[in-house]
């Protein structure tokens, strides 16, 4: 498994460095860094600070995903589904946590609120054309490949 050097700056003394839950985990847990608990009402979104900022190489994106236990058991997941942190961003990593449940949820300091995955990406070079090459699928979408 390839390793990538990620520089992490603590913006608050009690911020926690991300941790991996197992040897082969793809995502590292990120933690809430709060001075006081945050209450999230049903169908409400609140920004949860992590107290951290990152520096990582160009050509890599930091993707912020839901934690499966938190989203499935408590209904808390990033509002934007997947947060994208660009390599040139140096501000605090924030999690826009949305409550999909019908119950009030409370986030405490030190709670695991999301996970980060670092991945290479390609920047597209967009070329306008008059026609695209044909393919077997064509313009079929949204379930078109599952037809019997």
Task: Tell me what pLDDT residue 148 has.
Answer: 53
Which structural domain, as residue segments, surrounds residue 62?
Answer: 7-141
Task: Tell me what pLDDT residue 136 has.
Answer: 84
What pLDDT, in 10s, does the model give residues 45-79?
999 999 999 999 999 999 999 999 899 999 999 99
Does the residue 148 lie in any domain?
no
**Distance (Å, rounded) from C-alpha 69 to C-alpha 21?**
13
Does the residue 95 lie in any domain?
yes
- What's the maximum distance between 2 C-alpha atoms anywhere in the chain? 58
Report the pLDDT averaged over residues 86-99. Answer: 98
CATH of the domain at 103: 2.70.40.10
Does the residue 2 lie in any domain?
no
Does the residue 25 lie in any domain?
yes
Does the residue 146 lie in any domain?
no
- List Cα–Cα distances, 46 to 6, 65, 105, 120, 131, in angstroms: 27, 16, 11, 29, 44
Task: Tell me what pLDDT residue 142 has.
Answer: 79
Does the residue 136 lie in any domain?
yes
How many structural domains are present in the chain?
1
Task: Tell me what pLDDT residue 13 has.
Answer: 97
pTM (2 d.p.): 0.88
More confident residue, 139 or 46: 46
More confident residue, 2 or 23: 23
């Amino acid at each position: 498994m390839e390793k990538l050097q990620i520089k992490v700056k603590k913006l608050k003394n009690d911020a926690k460095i991300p941790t991996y839950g197992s040897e082969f985990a793809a995502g590292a847990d990120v933690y809430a860094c709060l001075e006081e608990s945050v209450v999230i009402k049903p169908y409400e979104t609140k920004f949860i600070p992590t107290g951290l900022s990152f520096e990582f190489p160009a050509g890599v994106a930091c993707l912020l995903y839901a934690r499966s236990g938190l989203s499935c058991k408590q209904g808390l997941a990033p509002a934007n589904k997947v947060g994208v942190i660009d390599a040139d961003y140096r501000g605090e990593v924030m999690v826009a946590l949305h409550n999909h449940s019908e119950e009030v949820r409370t986030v405490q300091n030190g709670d695991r609120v999301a996970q980060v995955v670092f991945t290479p990406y390609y920047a597209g070079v967009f070329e306008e054309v008059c026609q695209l090459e044909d393919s077997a699928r064509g313009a079929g979408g949204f379930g078109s490949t599952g037809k019997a």
